[in-house]
Amino acid sequence: MLKDITIGQYLPGESFIHKLDPRTKIIISLLFIASLFVINKFVGYILVVAFLAAVIINARIPLSYIFKGLKPILFLIIITGILNIFMIKGTDETLITQIGFIKVYKEGLMTAGFMALRLVFLIIGTSLLTLTTSPIELTDGIERLLRPIGKVLAHELAMMMTIALRFIPTLMEETDKIMKAQKARGADFETGNIIQKAKSLIPLLVPLFISSFRRADELAMAMEARCYRGGSGRTRMKELKYSINDIIAYAIFLTLFIGSFLVRFML
């Protein structure tokens, strides 16, 4: 399951989505997340599905990557759905069924459905951002968007955020390797109570921390060997510039964003 995490991975390509300015993709991703919480009717998610499908098809992202990214949150979706179904109360008119003292209301089912869809679309949307944007472009885009807070500080924050995002799949892969090595030596991570499971993680966490510190040290040495000195006086080989494609992307997404408000307040 650890290998199924797609956030932080990048798939090179020459599609319309890949060629967009990273600032465009970051801003659209943030507005997309906001639109998910604006929509309060199932019909509104038709626009979201159409938008995500268009992006996936245009960027030529294999569906296997999309499904892999959803596997790690499947348990969270199930738990969230169950809690909403049995915890949210309604009226006697909206009561669907009752088993003993447990009552299931229409409001609970609808809320569970909304939360499940929001989590699914949230993971897909954020995964598409990293799958179609290289770490360098992502760093430059975040830095330019944060520039109002200060050029040097913006660069440092952007670099830290990108490095953290980039190393998510690397650390997950390292964790998976350590778990397999420990299981081959007789370690058991699945049986026992909560305390026993927590203790069984110690042989996993210690080498993982050591490996993380080693990678951080190697990265620092590599950056220093390349004369990295932060954002002060830094120049770029390619400057970010908006193009007609970015205007088209904003126009298309603006239609979705306005549509989400219309669905909420007019239908």
Instruction: Please indicate, yes or no, if residue 96 is contained in any of the structural domains.
Output: yes
In this prediction, residues 7-20 reach a mean pLDDT of 83
Rounded mean pLDDT, 174-179 = 80
Tally the domains of the chain.
1
In a domain, 219, yes or no: no
Range(s) of the domain holding residue 43: 2-168+234-266
Predicted TM-score (pTM) of this structure: 0.73
250 in a domain, yes or no? yes
pLDDT tens, position by position, 90-130: 776 677 777 777 777 778 888 888 888 888 898 888 888 88
Asked if residue 209 is part of any domain, the answer here is no
State the pLDDT confidence band at 43, using cuts at 50, 70 and 90.
Answer: confident
Q: Is residue 212 part of a domain?
A: no
pLDDT tens digits for range 186-228:
777 677 676 777 777 777 778 888 888 888 888 888 888 877 7
| Three-class HEC string of the chain | CHHHCCCCCCCCCCCCCCCCCHHHHHHHHHHHHHHHHHCCCHHHHHHHHHHHHHHHHHHCCCHHHHHHHHHHHHHHHHHHHHHHHHHCCCCHHHEEEEECCEEEEHHHHHHHHHHHHHHHHHHHHHHHHHHCCCHHHHHHHHHHHCHHHCHHHHHHHHHHHHHHHHHHHHHHHHHHHHHHHHHHCCCCCCCCCHHHHHHHCHHHHHHHHHHHHHHHHHHHHHHHHCCCECECCCCCCCCCCCCHHHHHHHHHHHHHHHHHHHHHHHC
> Per the domain annotation, does 180 fall within a domain?
no
